[in-house]
Amino acid sequence: MSHPDLNLLVTLDVLLAEGSVARAAERLRLSPSAMSRALARLRETTGDPLLVRAGRSLVPTPRALELRERVALLVQDAEAVLRPQEMLDLKRLVRTFTIRNRDGFVENFGPRLIARVSEEAPGIRLRFVQKTSKDSLSLRDGTVDLETGVVGKTTGPEVRAQALFRDRFVGVVRMGHPLCGVTITPAQYAAGRHILISRRGLDSGPIDDALEPLRLKREIVTVVAGFSEALALAGASNLIASVPERYTGNLRAGMHSFPIPIAMPEVTISLLWHPRLDADPAHRWLRGVVRDVCAESIDCGRAPRPSQVV
């Protein structure tokens, strides 16, 4: 049984990334003729032309497009395995990490996270950016180092995920709202005037799906993209905002929160990162810090759980 030449993986990775024999040869410090011979070997090995001429340029075949991401991950993993392990000196480390989250994460966990990082690694800067979509492109292209959120269908299959905490949705109204201090039935909840939170501007969400079997429908007065916008509106009106409880703890300060009186599954908030950073010592340390901060016992003004769903 013949063994494949694994060196060809590096060559294939560069060829698919550059889309040019000349540029790939320059990047690998090979002559164009040597790169052409390597491409010929790759074509023979894979049974596919991989790159075909279209005018003056080369374009990838469907098989090449299928292989591109897999090959890149294999090469990255191999480089990580063969890279010498460095001793991590947190006190001397100078680096910026970009963390992408929905609104609420920084308000709740940011102060303790920054304090912990500043104490252990004063040269590290944390850059927080807003999560405006659910896709994994920013993790994949390296513009984001870490992300928090719910793993879903749009999460890249290669993305690593580790659960941080479970959360449930609660209703939130201003103090003095008619729903304060009363036992709320599903009908009373649905009869209120609601704020829908949807980054994509949808007309309904999971709460509406849960109300449908009860033959109830809530009146959605307005649609906003984020939790902070919804809570700001609820705090200044008689509208009802429905938000994840722990994720928005500090955002709900001074407001009345109540359990939503319908059966709603809890959500798992996870820490997400690209596998190329698995073995990075500093990144691994930061992942541990985020996990520790989120695991700490905090008072989020958690509303008492109902004994039963009415």
Q: Using alpha carbons, list the distances in angstroms from residue 210 to 206, 214, 246, 264.
A: 6, 8, 21, 7
* Angle at CA of residue 118, ends 112 and 122, nearest 5°: 165
**Paired residues of 268 in beta bridges:** 166
- Contact present, 287 and 116 (Cβ < 8 Å): no
* Prediction pTM value: 0.66
CA distance 70 to 10: 12
Domains of the chain: 7-82 (1.10.10.10), 95-167+268-295 (3.40.190.10), 169-265 (3.40.190.10)
Residue 97 pLDDT > 80, yes or no?
Answer: yes
- Contact present, 233 and 239 (Cβ < 8 Å): yes
Q: What is the DSSP letter of 248?
A: T
CA distance 230 to 252: 10
Q: What is the DSSP letter of 261?
A: S
Mean pLDDT of 267-276: 93
Reduced 3-state DSSP string for 165-184? EEECEEEEECCCCCCCCCCC
CA contacts within 13 A on the Cβ side of 151 = 16
**pLDDT one-digit tens code per residue, 139-191:** 988 899 999 999 888 888 888 999 999 999 999 999 999 999 899 999 999 99
Please report which confidence band the pLDDT of residue 298 belongs to, taking 50, 70 and 90 as the band edges: very low
